[in-house]
């Protein structure tokens, strides 16, 4: 005789002044939510690939320049959606099957030209293992005033562009993709593996086939090859870089978000909760980005699939009131944050401008 599964009760809210439970306890709350589904994962990936392919075809077949441009921009957004699927697969949270995740992840990351194995090391091991720990986590890591002043004039100019609010596309394209993922130098990766090289060859071949197909379509339809490559490859790829640069920036840059340069203090600060932002948007934009903006839940437990993140985030916010940074997005907030979050003072534990003047509240030291 079969037994009914035990009823699962959500945890009671924990006051903000009470000790934060151990991460294993918090992850235990999410375990009933984190079930992965193979069929659902395959359908989501296939749907996004069909939409992406249709938009690229639109850049070829539509006549008006503005229609081609819109298709190219929309294709860039769908590249972001596909990448988020690949990101989940890389975490082994997309389906229950490890080998299938590796295949689906590479397929999903093809349009973003992301080498799967290099992303796996840089993101899973470094970023998630040491989120916002200076000297280890390199993603949007802020400089100190002393570090900034020691840079060359050209490099200081780049930092000003990156932190201006207008620089996410350039930041991700240069600092993340070119320097750390596309055949990176050993000084950036620290090690070399055959898998890194082959994944680089794979995305290079993807780009070559993509561009060649657009050139072939241009000759077949008597259009400018330069224009079609621009609409169907360059614009989608640049939009994708702007999208991912922006997403990662708002995930971990906020006047309430702390950075650390001491591993002991970092560990005491519960970085899986205190270093991430849940960014909310109108018009279900968050859902259109496969719920990647429900980012606290993702950092607490990377095994929660993207199609379960909304419920996981709600459970955390209901159970840990006042501890999770929730920010409603507006362009005013974004550019105000970019104005304030230029450098970081690790002694006073606050954000500063480029002159070293504090722009956020001082945070108490952690014993």
In a domain, 24, yes or no: no
Instruction: Give CA separation, 173 vs 125, 177, 239, 244, in Å.
Output: 21, 5, 11, 10
pLDDT at 323: 87
Residue 365 within a domain: no
Q: What is the mean pLDDT of residues 287-314?
A: 94
Identify whether 214 is part of a domain: yes
pLDDT of residue 6: 42
Let me know if residue 144 belongs to a domain.
Answer: yes
The overall average pLDDT reported for the chain is: 92
Closest CA to 60 of 231, 241, 203: 231
What percent of the chain is modeled with pLDDT above 70? 96
Please report the pLDDT score of residue 105 as a whole number. 97
Question: Mean per-residue pLDDT for 206-232?
Answer: 97
Average pLDDT rounded to a whole number, residues 121-125: 87
Residue 202 within any structural domain of the chain: yes
pLDDT at residue 301, rounded to an integer: 92
In a domain, 26, yes or no: no
Least confident of 78-87, 137-146, 187-196, 258-267: 187-196
Residue range of the domain that includes 342? 111-352
Q: Is residue 24 within 8 Å of residue 301, measured between CB atoms?
A: no
In the predicted structure, residue 71 carries a pLDDT above the cut 70:
yes
Asked whether residue 366 carries a pLDDT value surpassing 70, the answer given is no
- With 0.75 as the threshold, say if the pTM is over it: yes
Would you say residue 66 lies in a domain?
Answer: no
Domain count, the chain: 1
- The angle that helices 65-90 and 235-252 make with each other, rounded to 10 degrees, is 50
* The pLDDT value given to residue 40: 96
Question: How much is the pLDDT for 185?
Answer: 84
Is residue 141 a part of any domain in this protein? yes
Q: What is the pLDDT of residue 99?
A: 96
pLDDT at 4: 45
């Amino acid at each position: 005789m079969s037994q009914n599964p035990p009823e699962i009760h959500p945890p009671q809210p924990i006051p903000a002044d009470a000790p934060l439970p151990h991460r294993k306890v918090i992850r235990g709350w999410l375990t009933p939510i984190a079930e992965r589904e193979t069929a659902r994962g395959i359908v989501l990936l296939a749907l996004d690939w069909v939409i992406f392919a249709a938009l690229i075809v639109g850049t070829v077949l539509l006549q008006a320049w503005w229609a081609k441009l819109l298709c190219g921009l929309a294709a860039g957004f769908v590249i972001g959606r596909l990448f988020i699927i690949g990101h989940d697969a890389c975490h082994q949270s997309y389906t229950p099957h490890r080998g299938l995740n590796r295949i689906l992840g590479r397929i999903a990351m093809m349009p973003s030209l992301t080498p799967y194995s290099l992303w796996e090391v840089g993101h899973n091991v470094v970023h998630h293992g040491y989120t916002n720990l200076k000297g280890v986590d390199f993603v949007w890591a802020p400089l100190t005033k002393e570090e900034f002043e020691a840079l060359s004039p050209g490099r200081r100019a780049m930092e000003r562009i990156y932190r201006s609010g207008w620089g996410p596309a350039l930041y991700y394209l240069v600092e993340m993709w070119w320097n750390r993922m596309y055949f990176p130098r050993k000084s950036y990766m620290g090690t070399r593996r055959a898998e890194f090289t082959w994944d680089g060859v794979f995305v290079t071949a993807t780009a070559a086939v993509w561009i060649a197909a657009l050139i072939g379509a241009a000759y077949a339809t008597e259009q400018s090859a330069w224009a079609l490559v621009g609409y169907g490859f360059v614009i989608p790829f640049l939009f994708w870089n702007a999208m991912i640069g922006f997403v990662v920036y708002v995930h971990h840059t906020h006047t309430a978000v702390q950075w650390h340069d001491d591993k002991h203090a970092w560990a005491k600060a519960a970085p899986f909760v205190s270093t991430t932002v849940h960014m909310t948007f109108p018009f279900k934009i968050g859902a259109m980005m496969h719920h990647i903006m429900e980012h606290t839940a993702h950092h607490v437990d990377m095994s929660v699939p993207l199609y379960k993140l909304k419920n996981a985030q709600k459970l955390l916010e209901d159970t840990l009131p006042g501890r999770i940074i929730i920010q409603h997005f507006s362009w005013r907030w974004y550019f105000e944050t970019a104005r304030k979050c230029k450098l970081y003072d690790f002694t006073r534990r606050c954000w500063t401008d480029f002159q070293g003047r504090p722009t956020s509240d001082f945070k108490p030291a952690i014993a």
